[in-house]
Amino acid sequence: MHLVLNIYNGKTVEKVYTADEFDIMFGTVEDLINLVDVDRLSGNVTDTDFIGAVAVLLKGGFVQVKTLLKDLFPDVTDEELKRAKMKEVLAVLVQVLKYGFSEMAASGNAKN
Q: What is the pLDDT of residues 49-82, one digit of tens each?
A: 766 766 666 666 677 788 889 988 999 999 999 9
Q: Which of 19-23, 59-63, 94-98 has the highest mean pLDDT?
A: 94-98
The CA-to-CA distance between both ends of the chain, in Å, stands at 26
pTM reported for the whole predicted model:
0.73
Chain centroid, CA 50 distance in Å: 10
Q: What are the φ/ψ torsions at residue 71 (nearest 5 degrees)?
A: -70, -40
Most distant pair of Cα atoms in the chain: their distance:
52
What are the DSSP E strand ranges found in the chain?
2-9, 12-20
